[in-house]
Structure 1
Amino acid sequence: MPFLAFDCEGPITLNDNAFEFCSSVIPQGGRFFKQVSRFDDYLADIKKRENYKAGDTLKLILPFLKLFGATNRSLEEFSERTLVLLPKMDEILSKLIKIAPVYIVSTSYKPYLVALRKRIGFPLENVYCTEVDLDAVKISPAEAKILTEVYEKILGFPDIEIPATAKIPEDLPGNLREILDEMEYLFFEKVWNLDSGFFLREVNPIGGKEKAKVLEEISRELNISLSEGFYCGDSITDTDALSLIKEARGVSISFNGNRYALRSAEFYALGYDGEVIGEVVLSFLDNGKDGLYRFRLKDERKEFGLVPGDEEELSTLISRSENIRKRVRGLLIGELG
């Protein structure tokens, strides 16, 4: 019996909970989050900073959420109030958990996954996510002044846009590299050594390599080979998990994925609701991975197939997938890494 694992935001829900909470709590929080998210993409994918992984945005923003008054309770209440499911995914998950081991492996904060559990009844013991305690730190007036200066400096930078063709730092324009170097100093020297730097030092977002580690743990605990694993993700935080399953000859699927997810997955799915996911999973459970090579689906509402190896065809697919991603999840969320 295979095991099934899904990212949460994208394949199951439409939110970007951290982005939305940031936008709600912090003045100009949406733009602030986007600046930090682009910085995260740079550190994880281009600079490949040691001991840094995709998704660590979720710890970088925590001192600033705390600065502007965020608490555990406010995050919990916000998550319950704003959670939006991808249509049909509640029914699909309810069906799947009766016939196979199903897991959610999410970079999102735990209160958001607790809100999901309350909404659809998914077992919390099968959820891996980012533990956070916003009440663990108190910020003094002196520290608040420093954090405010850092916050204002980051907002004062021009919009950070990482060229899709960039592979190494030297591929970036000099002025952009200067901004990214300055942000690295601000976070890992200035903020790191504050009391609120606790969040940067101690919080471990479940993204990048951490997602891959979770899949290895699930495989060991169930005594099910990774070659029998199924993982569905959509963003840069999923690349290690998708690559792990792909290399193990399991089933790795990008659902409405961006370029990071598509370049790491073997299969792709596009859709405006969860129906395509349900059909693909049931085909896999009935006919194995070999059946997916024969399974083809394409109409105006959903599509499934192999990620093409040809670069021109892949570029076309990336454009189509990212366009649907933005239409389904909204432009601001869809543009995030």
Structure 2
Amino acid sequence: MRGSVLRTRGGLSVRLDTRAAGVVLLLAALAAVLAVALIGTGDYPMSPGEVLSTLTGGGTAAQEFIVNDVRLPRVLVGLLVGAALGIAGAVFQSVSRNPLGSPDVIGLGQGAAAGALNVIVLFHGGTYAVTGGAFAGALATGAAVYLLAWKRGIHGYRLVLVGIGAAAVLGAVNGYLLTRADYVDAARAVVWLTGSLDGRDWTQVRPLLVACAVLVPLVLGRGRALRMLEMGDDAAFALGVRVERTRLVLMLAAVLLTAAATAAAGPVAFVALTAPQLARRLTRSAGPNLPAAACMGAVLLVGADWAAQRLFGDRLLPAGVVTGMLGGGYLLWLLVNERKAGRI
């Protein structure tokens, strides 16, 4: 195993995977570069130097308004949503011991969308009501999938299959809700369902930041137990992990992270599926690689939003369209490899 051991004078030793740490630092730097580039992109273009000067208080009044009030909240939502989805995907893939065990595959994104659509279509709710609906829908879906997949424990493929069925049912429910909506609500719902960072402001940043500040340390603090769960319930129990309690806490945290991300930006497709897998391939380390997955998720979403604004001419696409195109191709590649390996 690669890495170095850090020892303190008190006798405490900690092993550090230098490759994984280097990957995290590089991904964090790339996310920061993309964030600066995205802030400078738009009808009023700004150079990276102007963006950095404005962020540190050296810009003109017009630049401060554009950066601090219009573009910075959008970028922060992108970074936080990407990180939340990356960590949530890593948790579910580790718990299910299946690369397909992603929130958007097992129906959590569709459940959050169903809750939000009910608020939009039936109650014409505002931003905070939609956020509450997304949380309620994701929690209800997560509880239903967990209970239906339970049979003397949680088996990875059973969890994925139950989740795929739940996603199909919820997709039909969402389609029905759209047919019941009037023109204005239907247009608003369709834009939200695509997954977009357009128009995001500080009202989306604050609750998302609070959710990440509470839930991300909770998940990171159980990273060692999560890694042991990948070895199987019996092995984890033998190593001192309280299996069911740990799994329930981690899954609940991942559901809440997915709900918070979906409420802020809509059901952004495939970030939760691809980010943990790409992070693991870069670090070449076993385990969930939670920090790398978070940074990779942030890079993917902010990079997709930048590409959606710059690479398609005058047509500004939602970020969810770009992640859907890239993630769909990755999913097909993953299914082919899983079939060749005899796992499906």
TM-score range, shorter chain: under 0.3
Q: TM-score, normalization: structure 1?
A: 0.25
Structure with the higher fraction of residues in helix conformation: 2
